[in-house]
Amino acid sequence: MKLNVTLGDVLCGELSVDQQDRFTFQYLPSYVAHARLALSVSMPLRQEAYPDRVAFPWFENLLPEGLLRHLIADDLGTDVQNIPGLLARLGGDVAGAVSLSVEGRQADAVSPFHDTPLDERALGRLLEESALHPFLADRAGGPRLSLAGAQQKLPVINDGQAVRLPLSKPSTHLLKPPSPRFIALPQNEFLCMRAAGLAGLDVAGVALRPYLGSSGEAGVCLQIARYDRRDTGRIHQEDICQALSIVSSRKYEQDGGPGMAQLFETVRRHSAMPARDIVELLKRVVFNLLIGNEDAHGKNFSLLYSGKKPRLSPAYDLVSTSVYAELGRDFAMRIGEATRFEALDEHGFRLFGEQSGTAPARMRTLLLRFLDQAMRAVEQAADEVKPWCEGEAAAMPDNLLAQCRARCSVLEKLITFLR
């Protein structure tokens, strides 16, 4: 199988898959000659083809993960291990500016869906349908789109007045529905993302949106603005696993995925503004510790290309996982040598500072000031989200806030000891 790879609106190369399902990616000579944007920091521009060990992880990471991938494969009538087939079917609108298409087929995300605005009831029906059929992949001629991650998302177009399904344009926003397992998950993520923004972090824009379920019950979903989409078109991005040629199943450090040292080194080496992005990254790690986001793995940090060199992308998927007792407590990436918050100590935090490349005195000044801002931001965001939390969701904001206050006290002591 051969797939055309388009970056923006320019054909940049060809992805080839042999009979043993080994991937090879090669830039077009004309693309290299014009010194255009590279697909990845792991695949700089060159004439020679990139082998499977580099090409496969990058393209595989474009697909949804876990159960979502299985559901989509079932809808499409293909094996979940058929990565080339899934990419061919879903590659029209993926994260960033990439489009994949079978040779001779237009690389777009064209869908036959009507352009009717979605009211609350229509939105509810689609959210319920997408829970069973992610990205509505079961519909004949449905959208050719794929978004990485393990959580359900519905890509939409929001023009500021109405929400619609993607038609002939890339999606501009994502809608995340409630989880059947985790109470108030949209409100939880809104609180954390809103607090991060109030604390001065660079984050994707979020809002809560109401809908009506099929039985008439009121529901709440999270709307997230896609930072890789602008009026001028798509903006290229890649996550840290793609940048390091690590497959999605190894996104956690304990499974062979990136750790803090690799994360900071990747940003330092490739960012167009490394000093600024390292400070931003340092604050994000501490913010995740504050809110109890134990799931900040390699796919939850990305590089965004506004020029030939990338910057650290806005933060996304900021959720307090520790408010859910059934979820594990291990960090996705160790902090020093600690794998859990309870195991954090002065030595581990000092080691974390070394991994970030930040001098202890500067780290102390920077993070103490930020921690104060972040705690006040969480308090404000908790107040903002309370009107959206009814019934069994009502306790979530106060529970999360109480947890943050306890963690803030611990973090202040650890940071104060930095010299």
Active site residues: 295
3-state secondary structure (DSSP) of residue 2: strand
DSSP symbols for 117-152: PP-HHHHHHHHHHHHHSGGGTTSTT---B---BSS-
How far is 362 from 278, CA to CA, in rounded Å? Answer: 12
Residues 6+ apart with CB under 8 A from 291: 192, 195, 318, 319, 320, 378, 400, 404, 407
Q: Which helix (H) or strand (E) holds 26?
A: strand 23-27
Residue 286 · residue 371 · CB < 8 Å: yes
Question: What spatial distance separates the first Cα and last Cα of the chain, rounded to whole Å?
Answer: 57
Task: Say how many C-beta atoms besides its own lie within 10 A of residue 308's C-beta.
Answer: 11
CA angle 31, 32, 38 (to 5 degrees): 90
For residue 129, give both structure tokens: 């349908």
For residue 284, give both structure tokens: 């994000």
Residue 167 · residue 157 · CB < 8 Å: yes
Smallest CA-to-CA distance from 385 within 248, 225, 247, 184 is with 184
DSSP symbols for 300-316: G-EEEESSSS-EEPPB-
Residue 109 · residue 166 · CB < 8 Å: yes
How far is 130 from 384, CA to CA, in rounded Å? Answer: 28
Q: How many CA atoms, within 13 angstroms, populate the side-chain half-sphere of residue 374?
A: 27
3-state secondary structure (DSSP) of residue 220: strand
List the beta bridge partners of residue 14: 4, 26
| CA dist 264 → 44, 251, 259, 353 (Å) | 20, 16, 9, 10
